[in-house]
Amino acid sequence: MITLYAFGSCPDFAKGLTRDLRVRWALEEAGLPYETVLIDYAASRSSAHLELNPFGQVPAVQAAGLPTFESGAIVLQIAENSETLLPSHPGARAAAISWMFAALNSIEPMLLGLLDADIFHAREPWAKEMRAAMEARATKRLALLEAHLENREYVTGQFTAADLLMTTVLRMLRHTDLLKRFPSVSALKERCEARPAFQKALADQLSSLDEVIGAQAR
C-alpha cells in the first residue's frame, strides 16, 4: 500500500494548490490505490516526519517501506509504472522527463515570486515594489511556454506527467489574471484539469482538508 502524507488543514488560498495534489493526481492516472495520513504543523516537525521529509514538508510518500519526498521525485516514481504518465518510447520518455523538470525548475520558481508578493509577504512594504519585477519575470517565461505550445495540445504532444506537473504549477497563478494573456498555456491547463483523474484528486484533497487529523499522524 502507498501512504501519502499531506496536511489536514491549510489556509484558504492554498486549498487545491498544496503539492500533495500532484501526487494524488499521478496515483489516480496510474490507477494505484493509496491511503492518506493527514498531519498538522506540529507533526510536520516531528522526528518521525523529518525522517520522511528532512524539510518537514509535504508531500511525502512511503511505498513498500521506502520513503520518497519532493513532489517531482514522487510523481516520477509513480510515472515509472504508468505508460500514460511516462511513455516507454525513449524519445517520448526523454522529452517527458525534460518537461517535468522544466515545470518544476524553469516555470514554478518564476511564478512563486507572484505568490510571495501577493500572498505570503503581501503586508511587507517591499512586496508592492517587487511585484512588477516578479510579474515581468513570470510573463517572459510564460511567453516562451506559449510559443512552444502554440501547435501542441500537450507539452510533449501527448499527455504525460510533464503536463500534470505543469498544470499544478500554472494553478499557482489562479489569484491573478496573468494566464489570460497566454491562450495556449490556458488551454493546456484547462484540458488537463478536465481529466477525471484530476477531478478525483482535487475532490479528495479538498474533502481531506475537512477531516479530523488522525492520531497516527502525531
189 binds ligand GSH (CB under 6 A): no
Helix (H) or strand (E) holding 2: strand 2-7
Query: How many residues sit close enough to ligand GSH to count as binding (CB under 6 A)?
Result: 9
Pull the grid cell for residue 109: 520558481
Sign of CA dihedral 13, 19, 22, 28: negative
24 binds ligand GSH (CB under 6 A): no
**Cβ at position 49, least distance to ligand GSH in Å:** 10
205 binds ligand GSH (CB under 6 A): no
| C-alpha pair distances (Å), 180 with each of 9, 38, 44, 78, 137 | 30, 35, 36, 32, 16
Q: Closest residue to ligand GSH, Cβ-based?
A: 57
Secondary structure letter of residue 69 according to DSSP: E
113 binds ligand GSH (CB under 6 A): no
Distance between CA 156 and CA 103 in Å, rounded?
12
- In angstroms, how far is CA 86 from the centroid of its own chain? 17
Q: Which is nearer to ligand GSH, 182 or 198 (CB)?
A: 198
Specify which residues 66 forms β-bridges with.
63
**Cβ at position 59, least distance to ligand GSH in Å:** 6
For residues 183, 187, 146, 170, the Cα torsion angle rounded to the nearest 10 degrees is 110
Q: Which of 2, 4, 8, 19 binds ligand GSH (CB under 6 A)?
A: 19
Q: Which is nearer to ligand GSH, 8 or 59 (CB)?
A: 59
Distance between CA 67 and CA 49 in Å, rounded?
10
Distance between CA 83 and CA 59 in Å, rounded?
23
- Interface with ligand GSH by CB under 6 A: which range of 52-60, 138-146, 181-189, 210-218? 52-60
Would you give the binding string for ligand GSH spanning residues 55-74, x where CB under 6 A is met? -xxxx----------xxx--
Tell the residue number behind the cell numbers 510533464, with chain if given. Answer: 162
37 binds ligand GSH (CB under 6 A): no
Length of the chain: 218
**Cβ at position 7, least distance to ligand GSH in Å:** 7
**Cβ at position 125, least distance to ligand GSH in Å:** 24
**Cβ at position 91, least distance to ligand GSH in Å:** 27
Interface residues with ligand GSH (CB under 6 A) are 18-19, 56-59, 70-72
